[in-house]
């Protein structure tokens, strides 16, 4: 996921947690998953974990994924940005369905060092799979293997997407490159280190929030602190923006939208106490739980900031980088996903999931077509929990067959396959 605070999602809501070993065994009993595929899932994940690559630099990762898919007899098409690929899996010869289903995994790593004692830890300085994208990629390769063994009843498109971690997200490039042309529905899942293995969070409606980046550069003539009236007091303007911009925005948008502005960096001046600097910067984010507010904010935030600066005779240059929209899960897709999870793990495998304040570029797909974004439990239930985007992030590899099986099962379900019981996707 694009933001380290994405791990604030609700992670359960059940009275009792699934038995990890039982859930693992249930996945291994899924048609097509055997000891060999279980071992391959671990092998793929560990290779990718050891060799992480940053956004738009995933060349070796793309080559590795292509090699595995071509080994299964599939053809691949690389994206025009140079990394990532799509792979179309043909339907079985006797298939009658023609609704194209897409399965998506993100392949990029985070720009941070890993701090684990794993023997397969990252060997690339400044890059690590501390958000679980190595597992996502391995699980989609597992689904590809299942689809090769038992051709699906409809065509399936595998999307191995680059640059999820870089705003506004590689999904924008993939959509522009035709990744979802002709696609009826799409699914993705994300590792949830606060959810136990065997618990898959399913939610209909918005499940993530939007995210935009604000970069503000303030300039004035500068001067002596004894005579602030003779210049634009840049420090005072900067502080007023940092504390007051959110108050202005609160009066310009719907207070029910769950919108929050937060500053992450403020820079101005040197060490002198009696100098008003001539330049300063603020960098922060604006997030919203509302898709409509996300679309409204670019017209609200920059003038609010410039207006505050103008009060103090300071010029503000505001660079508002519109980020991802909220991921809004389609109701019908949520029911299909709940059925897929039930088919793999039983009804107890379907967990609840609340909307997160973090962003995810899967939202660019759900802007265009119906989709579902799931939260896959990867915590072993015993060890200390480690957050996404944490240098010591860990996951339980017993979750890998579960993800592969859920991907595969979702691709095989007809639109009307969700049973009445699937309405527990909330």
Instruction: Please give the model's pTM, rounded to 2 decimal places.
Output: 0.89
- 75 with 128: CB under 8 angstroms? no
pLDDT band at 418 (very low <50, low <70, confident <90, very high): low
Q: Considering only residues 402 and 357, tell me which one the structure prediction assigns the higher pLDDT.
A: 402
* Token pair belonging to 320: 């508002």
Q: What pLDDT is recorded for position 1?
A: 63
Dihedral angle sign, alpha carbons of residues 48, 126, 166, 199: positive
- Cβ count near 260 (within 10 Å): 15
- 293 with 276: CB under 8 angstroms? no
The 10s digit of each residue's pLDDT in 74-90 is: 999 999 999 999 999 99
Work out the average pLDDT over 287-311.
Answer: 96
Backbone angles phi, psi at 97, to 5 degrees: -85, 140
Q: Is the pLDDT at 150 greater than 50, yes or no?
A: yes
Coil vs helix vs strand at 57: coil
Q: What pLDDT is recorded for position 253?
A: 94
pLDDT band at 2 (very low <50, low <70, confident <90, very high): low
Work out the average pLDDT over 291-312.
Answer: 96
pLDDT band at 174 (very low <50, low <70, confident <90, very high): very high
Q: Is the pLDDT at 362 greater than 60, yes or no?
A: yes
End-to-end CA distance of the chain: 22
Work out the average pLDDT over 254-271.
Answer: 95
Backbone angles phi, psi at 161, to 5 degrees: -95, 135
Q: What pLDDT is recorded for position 16?
A: 60
Q: What pLDDT is recorded for position 13?
A: 44
Q: What pLDDT is recorded for position 415?
A: 85
Q: What pLDDT is recorded for position 9?
A: 47
CA distance 278 to 266: 14
Q: Is the pLDDT at 180 greater than 90, yes or no?
A: yes
Dihedral angle sign, alpha carbons of residues 249, 250, 253, 258: positive
Q: What is the DSSP string of 215-247?
A: EEEEE---EETT-GGGS--HHHHHHHHHHHHHH
Block residue for tokens 């998506």: 104
Q: What pLDDT is recorded for position 5?
A: 45
Backbone angles phi, psi at 207, to 5 degrees: -120, -15
Share of the chain above pLDDT 90, in %: 91
Q: What pLDDT is recorded for position 425?
A: 46
The 10s digit of each residue's pLDDT in 367-376 is: 999 999 999 9
Among 6-15, 32-41, 219-228, 272-281, where is mean pLDDT lowest?
6-15
Q: What pLDDT is recorded for position 3?
A: 54
The 10s digit of each residue's pLDDT in 322-331 is: 999 999 999 9
Work out the average pLDDT over 13-19.
Answer: 63
For residue 269, the number of C-alpha atoms closer than 13 Å in the C-beta half-sphere is 17
Of 337, 352, 381, 335, the C-alpha closest to 24 is 381
* Token pair belonging to 385: 């929990």
Q: Is the pLDDT at 14 greater than 70, yes or no?
A: no
Q: Is the pLDDT at 192 greater than 50, yes or no?
A: yes
Of 44, 51, 46, the C-alpha closest to 66 is 44
Q: Which residues contact 83 (CB under 8 A, 6 or more apart)?
A: 53, 56, 57, 58, 59, 61, 62, 107, 162, 163
Q: Is the pLDDT at 11 greater than 90, yes or no?
A: no
Q: Considering only residues 208 and 415, tell me which one the structure prediction assigns the higher pLDDT.
A: 208
The 10s digit of each residue's pLDDT in 100-148 is: 999 999 999 999 999 999 999 999 999 999 999 999 999 999 999 999 9
Coil vs helix vs strand at 272: coil
Of 171, 189, 190, 188, the C-alpha closest to 180 is 171
Q: Is the pLDDT at 194 greater than 90, yes or no?
A: yes
């Amino acid at each position: 996921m694009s933001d380290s605070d994405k791990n604030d999602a609700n992670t359960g809501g059940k009275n009792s947690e699934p038995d990890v070993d039982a859930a693992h065994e249930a996945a291994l009993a899924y048609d097509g998953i055997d000891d060999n595929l279980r071992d391959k899932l671990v092998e793929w994940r560990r290779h990718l974990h050891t060799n992480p690559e940053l956004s738009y630099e995933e060349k070796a990762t793309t080559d590795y994924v292509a090699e595995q898919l071509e080994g299964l007899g599939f053809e691949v098409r690389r994206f025009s940005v140079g990394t990532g690929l799509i792979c179309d899996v043909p339907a079985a010869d006797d298939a009658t369905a023609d609704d194209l289903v897409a399965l998506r995994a993100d392949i990029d790593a985070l720009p941070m060092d890993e701090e684990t004692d794993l023997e397969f830890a990252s060997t690339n300085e400044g890059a690590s799979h501390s958000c679980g994208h190595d597992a996502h990629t391995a699980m989609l390769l597992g689904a590809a293997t299942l689809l090769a063994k038992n051709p699906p009843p409809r065509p399936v498109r595998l999307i191995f997407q680059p640059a999820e971690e870089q705003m506004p997200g590689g999904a924008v490039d993939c959509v522009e490159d035709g990744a979802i042309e002709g696609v009826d529905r799409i699914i993705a899942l994300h590792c949830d280190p606060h959810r136990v293995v065997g618990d898959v969070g399913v939610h209909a409606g918005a499940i993530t929030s939007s995210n935009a980046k604000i970069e503000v550069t303030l300039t004035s003539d500068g001067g002596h602190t004894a005579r602030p009236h003779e210049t634009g007091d840049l420090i005072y303007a900067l502080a007023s923006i940092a504390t007051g911009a959110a108050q202005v925005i609160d009066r310009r948008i719907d207070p029910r939208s769950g919108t929050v502005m937060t500053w992450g960096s403020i820079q101005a001046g040197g060490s002198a106490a009696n100098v008003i600097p001539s330049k300063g910067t603020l960098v922060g984010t604006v997030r919203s739980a509302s898709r409509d507010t996300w679309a409204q904010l670019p017209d609200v935030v920059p003038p609010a900031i410039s207006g505050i600066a103008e009060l103090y005779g300071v010029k503000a240059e505001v660079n508002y980088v519109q980020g991802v929209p909220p991921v809004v899960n389609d109701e019908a897709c949520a029911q299909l996903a709940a059925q897929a999870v039930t088919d793999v793990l039983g009804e107890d495998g379907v967990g609840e999931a609340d909307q997160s304040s973090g962003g995810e570029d899967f939202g660019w797909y759900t802007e265009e077509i119906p989709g579902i974004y799931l939260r896959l439990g990867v915590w072993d239930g015993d060890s200390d929990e480690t957050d996404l985007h944490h240098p010591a992030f860990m996951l339980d590899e017993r979750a890998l067959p579960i993800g592969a099986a859920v991907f595969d099962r979702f691709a095989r379900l007809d639109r009307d396959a969700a049973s009445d019981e699937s309405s527990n996707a909330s």
